[in-house]
Structure 1
Amino acid sequence: MAYDIPPDLAGMSLLEIAEAVSARKLPPVDKWKPDATSDSRMRIAADGTWYHDGSPITRPAMVRAFASLLWRDPADGQHYLVTPQYRQTIEVEDAAFMATDMRVDGDALAFRLNTDELIIAGADNPLRAEGDPDAPAIYLGVRHGCEARVDRSTWLQLAEFALSQGENLTVESQGATFSLVPAE
């Protein structure tokens, strides 16, 4: 089956974004509880590049397929690739995904990930700020405990939007309010 890249985020309405989000069918990795665990010999670098045995995975379709199997254990923070029979550890240097674009539509903030997935920030997909208040790292909850780090250009879009709303560097999306300043 051919993969259809979603249209440019700027050209989509919130309804179109919401429909694309709900149409995506993902494996139920949170329901699978395999006994067997091994090492995948895979790593997701801080810049979002996926590696296997030290070599980058250059096929976007492979990255999207593996990304659909990601789960992060809430007890120890370890990331896994999960199937019904196995779970394999995967090293994640920072975040499992990168948020590479953002769109404001009404009361919602929509983000495109490096895997072409669309995520609408809200209570189920919160934004959080970490690190230095002068240069924070912003993360977006994606699914199954995994997060996306907001890349620099998207952070600038987000900060510009926050400043247009007032001086306190907070944003709202789907009724939830998020600070873009790390807690001290």
Structure 2
Amino acid sequence: MPETRPPLEPAGRSLDEIAAAASARGGPPVDRWNPSHCGSSGMRIDREGRWFHEGKRIERDALVRLFASVLRREPDGRHVLVTPVEKLDIDVELAALRVTAMSHEGDGEARRIGFQLSDGGALIVGPAHPLRFVDGLPLVAVRHGIEASLERPVWYELAELALAADPPGVWSDGLFFSFPAS
């Protein structure tokens, strides 16, 4: 089954338009599929968000987007690829996805921050997609327990916003996300 959903293109769109497009995009109902565990997929996602199968990098973006669409995180923390008939483990070093670009609108408590994701999706940081820090690195909740880490330029852009605030942190969609002390 080929990936038929093209990546969202947030350039030139407002955050409201990005949020609407992300909501309309949808995806497979992996949260409702509960097949038996079948073993390992032989796949892993490295710390930089690169996908591998049996040690060889998966180069086709559409294939990565397809696999990402059927990825979820189990309550015990394991990541799995799931379909209606099988569930396979996939090793994830840090986060399953990457934030590749950032945009923001407003200031202070009225600010909203949008992230473009490596799987072609997008989100607005806030109650549905909170930020958290692991070993000083920001991760954002995406869907079904999956998180995304920030590519270095995005992390620097977000840190610049955070360091302009006292205490250091960012507002987005009505929530304040404080940054850890260095």
Q: TM-score, normalised by structure 2?
A: 0.90
User: Which residue in the other structure is 1:22 paired with?
Assistant: 23
TM superposition shift of 1:161: 1.4
1:143-158 superposed matches below 5 A? 143-158=143-158
User: Which residue in the other structure is 1:84 paired with?
Assistant: 84
Of 126, 131, 150 in structure 2, the residue corresponding to residue 122 of structure 1 is 126
Q: Secondary structure at the match of 1:141?
A: strand
| RMSD, aligned α-carbons | 1.7
Paired amino acid for 1:41 = G
Q: Within the alignment, does 1:112 sit opposite 2:112 as a pair?
A: no
User: Which residue in the other structure is 1:174 paired with?
Assistant: 173
TM superposition shift of 1:10: 4.6
Alpha-carbon distance change, 5 to 82 in structure 1, aligned in 2, over 3 angstroms: closer
Question: 1:37, 1:87 within 8 Å by CA — same for their partners in 2?
Answer: yes
TM superposition shift of 1:170: 1.1
Q: Distance in 1 between matches of 2:25 and 2:81?
A: 19
What is the identity percentage for the equivalent residue pairs of Structure 1 and Structure 2? Answer: 43
Question: 1:36, 1:85 within 8 Å by CA — same for their partners in 2?
Answer: no
Query: How many pairs does the alignment contain?
Result: 176
Question: 1:97, 1:148 within 8 Å by CA — same for their partners in 2?
Answer: yes
Q: Distance in 2 between matches of 1:5 and 1:22?
A: 13
User: Which residue in the other structure is 2:57 paired with?
Assistant: 56
Structure 2, gaps ≥5 residues long = none
Question: 1:129, 1:179 within 8 Å by CA — same for their partners in 2?
Answer: no
1:85-104 superposed matches below 5 A? 85-104=85-104
Q: Within the alignment, does 1:31 sit opposite 2:32 as a pair?
A: yes
Runs of at least 4 residues off by over 4 Å: none
Paired amino acid for 1:168 = P
Paired amino acid for 2:158 = L
Q: TM-score, normalised by structure 1?
A: 0.89
CA deviations over 1:96-134 (Å, ceiling 9, x no partner): 011111111233110011122101111111001121xxx
Q: Distance in 2 between matches of 1:3 and 1:33?
A: 24
Structure 1, gaps ≥5 residues long = none
Q: Within the alignment, does 1:142 sit opposite 2:154 as a pair?
A: no
Q: Distance in 2 between matches of 1:70 and 1:100?
A: 19
